[in-house]
Structure 1
Amino acid sequence: MRALFCILKLRVYRLSRIERIITSHQLAQFELEPDILQQLDNEDSIWFGYDKQEVTLSVHPDVALYFKQRKLFPEQVILTESAAGELLISCQIRHQKQLHPLVRYWIPYLKIIEPVHLQQELDAGLQGYLTSSQCK
């Protein structure tokens, strides 16, 4: 007898994108999976299956108040505040799409310090946008 292993990967879908629904008059029986329920309880985002990554950002003094008033990034923690009012914050992300839109919103007041490749990806994306918009 062969053992059958089922690897379950949670996915997120937008209900508004469902186009056709097929209904049945049969009653469906679903068994709750404790591991999946635990994973859903532990998540605060839609990025299932990705490892958390710590990100460090610098926040310009002109907008530091907003970051001190409330957490604007996932699991945001203020690491230091300079005498001039600049903040160094950390956050935990599972995917760069959790980070880049927020950083773009706060340009020019935010900069990704670590990991460096996330700032480089952001810079490349912005440079690509500027280059493509100049060609039109």
Structure 2
Amino acid sequence: MAILADHGSRGNPLQHKRHAEILERLDNGEELSIGELAREWNVDPKTIQRDFDKLKQMYPERVERAEDKKRYRKPLSRRAQNDGDMVLEMLESMVKDIGVDFYKKAHPLLERLQRQIKSPFYTRLDVEDIGSKFEIVMHLEKAIEQKREVTLSYTPYGAKIPSEYTNVRPIKVIVYEGFWYLLAQQRSYTKKFYIKSISSCEITDLTFHHNPKIIERLENSINVWFSTNVEPYEVRLWVDKSVVVYFERKPVAKNQKLYKQPDGSAELVLKVTSDEEIYPLLKYWIPTIRVIEPQRIQEKFEGMLSGYLSNKF
């Protein structure tokens, strides 16, 4: 029996391969765009449109148009569409992981909304417990909403005594790798304050307007090492075929571009504002990923590995 080929002569996936991947990605919770798939697979958008039309006809329980009418998704259950029970169940499961103190404060509200629902969800979020900083976070939330400056009592890393930081303009409370930070401006600098090191927060009467570019840089960042003062630059990485699917399912960053190769590997293109954003990614996926450009990142990473293996840190 002949083995059915997956790719054509130009390396783009054939119809049966496209159909299988579309269904797999929809089942994994992705929302798919005709334009994005056409660019990823280097085929005509009309071809992808025909793929979805055929799949909708063959598998109506697995394919539907999303609410924006621009993407496709796996159909939601009637229950999920008609009420918020599923969302509440997921929130209840997630806040348990944030910490005991935080859960004690959040649980009564969720319980009143959720009532007697028996949750089928389990989530495991590696998020540190900031329950003891709940009041500070509430102050920061109010200051962010009202765009008012704050004064912080903050102990920088390595210091033993807190210092006073005035004219702090809070922008967002952010979580990276399970750690909580305040992204803020102070004078001409953008800073990230570690939430657990803030001992007090006082809201002032001074208002401000932050630079929208900061939010744009935040939304395109990979991790907390991003910079708001550097223009983004491109990093190209090679990804082994054994792990390409994980970058398809969950993009590393909002600006990620993934170009699959005929041999199953892929070229991953990211825009970053600091080389430091790339090193945690390389460490996590070693040995299935490496830097193509800029070469200095790969060379420095190899130096880190050599130092580790030789015990010379």
TM-score of the aligned structures, taking structure 2 as reference length: 0.36
Task: Specify the alignment match of 1:88 in structure 2.
Answer: 267
Task: Specify the alignment match of 1:31 in structure 2.
Answer: 207
| More strand, by proportion | 2
Selected match of 1:63 from 243, 252, 257: 243
Please list the CA deviations of residues 111-134 of structure 1 after superposition, one character each: whole Å capped at 9, or x if unmatched: 10000000001111111111117x
Cα distance change of structure 1 residues 39 and 83 upon mapping to structure 2, 3 Å threshold = closer
Cα distance change of structure 1 residues 124 and 132 upon mapping to structure 2, 3 Å threshold = same
TM-score of the aligned structures, taking structure 1 as reference length: 0.77
3-state DSSP class of the match of 2:310?
Answer: helix
Selected match of 1:105 from 270, 281, 284: 284
Tell me, yes or no, if the aligned pair for 1:76 and 1:89 is still in contact at 8 Å: yes
The amino acid that maps onto 2:214 is L
Paired with 2:257 and 2:307, the residues of 1 have a C-alpha distance of 31
Q: Which has the larger radius of gyration?
A: 2
Deviates more, 1:90-99 or 1:115-124: 90-99
Instruction: Structure 1 unaligned segments of length 5 or more: list them.
Output: 1-6
CA RMSD of aligned residues (A): 2.3
Shift of 1:32: 1.4
Higher relative contact order (CA 8 A, sep 6+): 1
Task: Specify the alignment match of 1:4 in structure 2.
Answer: none
Aligned residues: 121
Please list the CA deviations of residues 10-53 of structure 1 after superposition, one character each: whole Å capped at 9, or x if unmatched: 111111123x4386xxx7212212xx241333232452212211
The amino acid that maps onto 1:84 is D
Paired with 1:88 and 1:10, the residues of 2 have a C-alpha distance of 32
Instruction: Provide the identity percentage.
Output: 21
Paired with 1:117 and 1:22, the residues of 2 have a C-alpha distance of 41
